[in-house]
Amino acid sequence: KNQVEQSPQSLIILEGKNCTLQCNYTVSPFSNLRWYKQDTGRGPVSLTIMTFSENTKSNGRYTATLDADTKQSSLHITASQLSDSASYICVVGDNYGQNFVFGPGTRLSVLP
Amino acid sequence: GAGVSQSPSNKVTEKGKDVELRCDPISGHTALYWYRQRLGQGLEFLIYFQGNSAPDKSGLPSDRFSAERTGESVSTLTIQRTQQEDSAVYLCASSLAEAGGPETQYFGPGTRLLVL
């Protein structure tokens, strides 16, 4: 069964600290993996998109990694800001680009 | 417990017809979102309901799209006079929307709409 798991479920950190969010998947065949950021009451915003051949991609203070062998991805946030408080959703697409499996998300709260 | 459910799972319709998609959120979840995902594309936000507040309709692509939700229960997304470009997977998500914090969303399996 195709699944995407994320950990931790929720995370609280202090402003300025770094953090890493995890995503494990069993989707096969694999096509791409996306990380989204979603603020409360807003639509999700794409942070990174990675295909099978890419193992790291950065977007400002966000860096995503992908290990297609172990089927794991991480999202590292550097020097967190209060505006980073949001849900971070990992989404994995299959090889045909027709099916996307959504993780439950990680709730991040950045405190001053 | 039961997760978010959507119906139908698949829908094939002819251009110009109206369609209605249904979402049953997780019981007790006050927030409900509708998204669209075209083939090979990312999530496209459509509309957001929060309790009894006026919905955020900023993502609806045209006036052919409308959605309703009564209280904190079922929501329906209606597409009138469907066009071929409406073909997509329509996803629903719900969350607790606790005040003051970001929320974890739980997605339904989606309704795959094909407009011929």
Is residue B69 pLDDT above 90, yes or no? yes
A-chain CB neighbours of B91 within 8 Å are 102
Q: Please write the tens of the pLDDT for every residue from B13-48.
A: 999 999 999 999 999 888 888 999 887 666 788 888
Tell me the per-residue pLDDT of A74-96, one tens digit each, with 9 for 90 and over.
999 999 999 999 989 998 887 65
Tell me if A44 sits within 8 A of B43, measured CB to CB.
yes
B96 touches chain A (CB under 8 A): no
* A45/B100 Cα distance (integer angstroms): 20
Ranges A21-25, A103-107, B9-13: which has the least confidence:
A103-107
Which pLDDT score, from 0 to 100, does residue B99 have? 43
Distance CA B101, CA A92 (A): 26
User: Do residues A25 and A91 make contact, with C-beta atoms less than 8 angstroms apart?
Assistant: no
Q: Which residues contact B53 (CB under 8 A, 6 or more apart)?
A: none
Q: Determine the Cα–Cα distance for residues B32 and B48; give it in Å rounded to an integer.
A: 6
Chain A residues in contact with chain B using a Cβ-Cβ cutoff of 8 Å: 9-10, 34, 36, 38-44, 46, 49, 85-87, 89, 91, 93, 97-98, 100, 102, 104-109
A:B CB pairs within 8 Å = 63
